[in-house]
Structure formats: C-alpha cells, structure tokens
Structure 1
Amino acid sequence: MRYKIILLVILFTSLTSCKNTEGPEVLYLGHTLPQTHPVHKGMLEFQKALEKKSKGTLKVKIFPDGQLGSERELLELLQIGSVAATKVSAAPLSNFIPEYNVMGIPYLFRNKEHQFSVLEGPIGKSILEKGSKFWLRGLCYYDAGSRSFYTSKKAIRTPEDLNGLKIRVQNNQMAINMVNTMGGDATPLAYGELYTAIQQGVVDGAENNPPSFVSSNHYEISKYYTLDEHSSVPDVLLIGTKYWDKLSEEQKIWVQEAADESAQAQKRFWKESVEESMKVAKEAGVEIIIPEKSLFAEKSKSVVEKFVKEYPEMESLVNQIKNN
C-alpha cells in the first residue's frame, strides 16, 4: 500500500511539474497530524494566504493524518522531490542539522516570548536555511508548546519526586539524559504503546504538552500533571529544495510570506488548544500542579554542560540564545 501511495505522489508531482499555462501550480503538503490539530489549522492558513498572494496561480493540496507516510518517509519524499512540503518536529531534524539539537536543551528558553524572539530572529532563520544542503529548506516554526511531566499514581512537585519513577520519553538522548539526571528512570517507548503501558504500570508516567496529553486520552489514566515545562521543541514547516528551486523569485517571496503569516495564526490556534485541553483535563479530575521551575532547571544544568562538552561547536549558539 505504501508503495502505491508513493507512486501516486510521484505521478502527481510529475504532472504538476510540467509547464501548465492553463492551470495553477500545485504544492503538495503531507503531514502526520489529525485535521483537528492546531498545526494543521496553521497549514490551512498557509494554503489560504498563498493562493491569495499568487492570485490563484499557486495552490496547496494538504494530505493530513499520515496519508503519505511517517515523518521520516515524508522527509525522504521531500528530498527526492516527490512531495513539496511537510511539517516535522525539530527533534528528528537534528539527524541532518546538528543545530536543531540545541532546541531540546531543558530550560534553554526563558519563556514563550524569548523562544519566538530567537526562532523568528536571525538565529532561528539561520538554522532554517542550514537544511538546504540536505534538500530540506525550513520556511517557519510552528508552536508545539512545552513538555511537562504527567503521572498515574504519584504527583511530581519537586525533582526528587521523580526518583525511581519510570518516565516514558522520546528516543532522544537529550530527553533521556534529562529525566535520568533528575532522578527518574527514562524509558524510551513508542507513542502508540504509551496508553497501555501507563494503564498496566509498565511506566509510571510520561511528558508532553497539554494538547497531546488530552488528544491521546492519557488524561484518563494519569491524574497528575506537573507544568514544569522543561523543554519547548518547535515544529518546522519545510519545503524541499527540489521544489523550491523551480519557483521564480516572486513565487518564493509569496511562499515565504504565506508561511510567516501562517506561523502567527498557528500560535493563536495553539494557545486556544492549550486552554481547551487544560479545561478538559481539569473537568476529568486531573490535578494540575504548578511547581517551582527553578528547582527542575537547576537539577538539569548538567545536561547542558554534557551537551556542550560533546558538541563544543554548539557552545556559541547556546550562548547566543541565552543572551538574546
């Protein structure tokens, strides 16, 4: 089935890459999120803005829900030119562009305002452009919130409360180091297996943002949510350079402006989604805990030190962000 989809996309691309003076150019955008997600809503704004700016000569066709494959498969499709654009978390992009690793450092960003002043300023734009040598040009960042701990049987009020708890994390060394340093037992596990794992006590909890906490139904079996907000890894809207390079200079301006406008709208959608998710969690009886974040930040300092030691070329970038 997957090969059929890929062949279909290649057919679409070959058709739309031909010069067509009678119809619009179509940009195919695939992603893995549901249509109710605030990031998908941001992409709809991108679709609307691009069509308006180009007076209908450039259109966006969106394939949500993983119709065209996983994040990894979509990245590969961008690189070979079979799909024009996609959205992925900044975390997997670090496999191509080391600078994206920095965004997973715990408590790197002081607050939301600081985060987006960095991402939407010279530092963030420079990182977006670094993917071009891997055929993956970044257009803009989408808000993916902040990750916090949630547990099933015991509330986490201080880092010491993590002692001995198995906490599911993404298969990412930064996340593993952070939880282990705080005293927990970091347990990489597939996201699709997490609900059952918490329910059966295989793990004691996990960490994620409020919309994911609720949309996954993890709030049904995890009655403690500690808003320590230890990391804020954004999503990235990408365009394949094989598609980008075919655009005229005017078309490139339209695409970039549409992406930038969609990013501002998406931040509003994300804020609304967080508020609604927190309301759902509270009504379901989840205890929302507001801890002293400085305790968690202090405990995780060695994670930053270890990262800079392993990647000395990143120290300058980390300092630039901190001083921004």
Structure 2
Amino acid sequence: MIALDRRSLLRGLGGAIGGASVALAAGCAPMEGQLLRAVDTHPDGYPTVEAVKYMGQLLRERSGGRLGIEHYAGGVLGQERDALEITIFGGIDLNRVSLAPLNPIVPETLVPGLPFLFSSTQHMRAAMDGEPGRAILDALEPHGLIGLCFYDSGGRSFYTTKRLIERPEDLRGLKIRVQSSDLFVEMVRALGGNPTPMDFGEVYQGLMQGTVDGAENNWPSYESTRHFEVAPFYSETRHVMAPEVLTMSAITWKRISAADRALIRQCAQESIPVMRELWDAKVEQSRAAIVASGVRIAAPDPAPFQALVQPVWDRFVTTPTMRKLVDDIRAMDPA
C-alpha cells in the first residue's frame, strides 16, 4: 500500500519546476492505459499540484495500480487558456484552472469572482462545498468539462510599486494588472484604477519596467513570483476570494467506466482537505516571509471599496440562475 502522509506533503511545499522540456513532449502523447495526464500552471510543490498528486496516489492504491495520474506542473503546456482548450478537446485529462478563463464559456463561473461576495475563507469554502458549488461544477459539463472539485485561491489583494492602497482614491491613476477577464477589468475600473490585462508570466517585468503600477493576487503568489521585490506595497483588501477548479475532459470521462468515474470523483473530494491544509500553511509561510522582507502592509477598511462595486454586480449577474447562486451563497454567510 502507498503511504498517504500529509506531513510529507507539507514538507514538499515550495518545490521548483523540473523537467519542463521532457514534460512538454510527453504531455501530448496518447494516454497509455488509464494513466491520466494532469496539468497545472502552478509550479511543482504548489498546494494544488500536491493535492492532485495525492489524488493520484489514492487512485493508484484503490484501483490496484490500474489508475493513476501523471502530472505536468509549471505551465509546460502553455497558459491556462491554451491548456483549457486542449482539455476540452481531450488532449489533457485533468486540468486545475482558474475560474477567469471559464467566464466567457460558463456564465455561472462568474459568480464566485464577484468582488466582496464572500465575507471570509470559511464562507467561501462552505458555499463551494455546498449546493452553489455543485451547481457551478454541473454547469461545466455541456461545455466539454467535468467539474470535480474546488481548490482555494486565497483572498486577492492589491500591491503596487508606488504606494499603499488604503482607500479607493489611492487607486486613481494607477495601471493595475488584471487577468484577461471582463469581470476583473470592470471591478478595477469601478474602484478607480486603470485595469491592464496581462499574462501572469509577464507581470514581474511589467512592474519593473513601469508598464503597470501594480497588480492583485494572494499572499503565496505575491511571494513565490518575487513580485514583492518590485512592488513593495501590499494592501490586504481581499476583494475577491474566487476558488480554482479541478476539471476533467468530458471526452476522457466518456471513455471510462461508471465505477471509475465514481472513484475519480471520490478521490478528488478527498484531495480537498489536503489542499486546504497545504494552502493554509503556505499562506502563513508566505505572509511571514513578506513581513520579514520589509514590505509595507496595510489592512484597509473594506466598506468604501464595497460601496463602489454594486454596478459590477448589476452588469454581470444577468440570469435567474446566477441571481439564485448569489442569493444562496450570501445566505450561507456564517458571519
């Protein structure tokens, strides 16, 4: 039997990308037997990567070695949009993806990304573990994807090269990098900033060269990308707590038995607490490293920011299904 030791997974955090060129060549090869190919743009050792590896251990153990996962981390198959397209067409079996690239395809995925929808990490987890999360996962299937589970992506906050963001007025005139998402563009615009869509891999250079004045992301991403070196002002607004999603190609899904589908779903669910344990530890580790680096940190009052984003909600919550999701999520707020 395979030892499923969470402590060893925790010790494995922070691993570097390795064997990228080999993985790139192997990632597009035909699937051998029932070895499922999984991709992630996060590097090896990142909590989502380690959670999918844990899922693979469970699959291998419970299937007697008949099922398993071969993981290609670090974006070796390109950025999320590219990998998502390959997944839909069956070239990738499992894909951990942010919700933003799914927004144009599946409107329901916009809802967890609404600014200030969640009051806390506990609120987000309860909603995504419950009926609202199940409804969003189910909405993926008509678009060629099977939604397996949600993973944390933390609270996104602003960081800049110039000043702390303590009030919305402090964003005025600043070019803020955002994901290529209409929702994020309109959110930053509503808060007074100048939204600038940019691939994640270009952000460090953009901050250094002044192409953008700031960005927004969680503690682990801010620390692991070294963005704090060029943008040493971090304002903990936690304006978005949208999770990420583990998906499976519907083409692959249709090729496997009902029993194997049930096993994959169960192992994915059991990977969630592992991911969360790793994630919480990573957040604390990253925050401590940032504090030690001398970065200036603020914890702004969220109320003035929240007051400005209602037009964003009005624009993007456009269907009865989306409105019900919003209502159901808000009703689950434990605060």
Query: For 1:270, what is the secondary structure of its paired residue?
Result: helix
Query: For 2:166, what is the secondary structure of its paired residue?
Result: coil
Query: For 2:163, what is the secondary structure of its paired residue?
Result: coil
| 8 A Cα contact 1:91 1:233, kept in partner | no
Task: Tell me the amino acid that sits aligned with residue 212 of structure 1.
Answer: S
| 8 A Cα contact 1:178 1:300, kept in partner | yes
Larger deviation, residues 223-232 vs 167-176? 167-176
1:201-223 deviation line (CA, Å, top 9, x unaligned): 33221111111111111101212
Residue in structure 1 matched with residue 4 of structure 2 by the alignment: none
Task: Tell me the amino acid that sits aligned with residue 163 of structure 1.
Answer: R
- Aligned residue runs from structure 1 range 21-32, under 5 A: 25-32=34-41
1:229-284 deviation line (CA, Å, top 9, x unaligned): 00012111111122112222221221111101111110111111111111111111
1:44-101 deviation line (CA, Å, top 9, x unaligned): 1111121122222211111112233332232233223232111110111122211001
Residue in structure 2 matched with residue 22 of structure 1 by the alignment: none
Partners of 2:233 and 2:24 in 1: how far apart?
42
Q: Does 1:123 align with 2:141?
A: no
> Relative to total residues, which structure has the larger helix share, 1 or 2?
1
Task: Tell me the amino acid that sits aligned with residue 230 of structure 1.
Answer: H
Q: Does 1:303 align with 2:321?
A: no
TM-score when normalising by structure 1 = 0.90
Larger deviation, residues 224-233 vs 54-63? 54-63
For residue 299 of structure 1, report the CA deviation from its aligned partner. Answer: 2.1
Residue in structure 2 matched with residue 316 of structure 1 by the alignment: 324
Residue in structure 2 matched with residue 45 of structure 1 by the alignment: 54
Partners of 1:66 and 1:95 in 2: how far apart?
21
Residue in structure 2 matched with residue 248 of structure 1 by the alignment: 257
1:128-174 deviation line (CA, Å, top 9, x unaligned): 12211122001000111111001112111111221222211112111
- Aligned residue runs from structure 1 range 134-145, under 5 A: 134-145=143-154
Partners of 2:190 and 2:161 in 1: how far apart?
21
Moved over 4 A (4+): 4-11, 310-313
Which of these two proteins has the greater Rg computed from alpha carbons?
1
Q: Does 1:109 align with 2:118?
A: yes
- Aligned residue runs from structure 1 range 207-222, under 5 A: 207-222=216-231
Partners of 1:6 and 1:272 in 2: how far apart?
30
Structure 2, gaps ≥5 residues long: 1-21
Q: Percent identity?
A: 35
- How many residues align? The count is 312
For residue 197 of structure 1, report the CA deviation from its aligned partner. Answer: 2.2
Residue in structure 1 matched with residue 270 of structure 2 by the alignment: 261
TM-score when normalising by structure 2 = 0.87
Partners of 2:47 and 2:231 in 1: how far apart?
23
**Aligned-residue CA RMSD in angstroms?**
2.1
Partners of 1:67 and 1:144 in 2: how far apart?
20
Change in CA separation of 1:11 and 1:149 when aligned onto 2, cut-off 3 Å: closer
| 8 A Cα contact 2:24 2:76, kept in partner | no
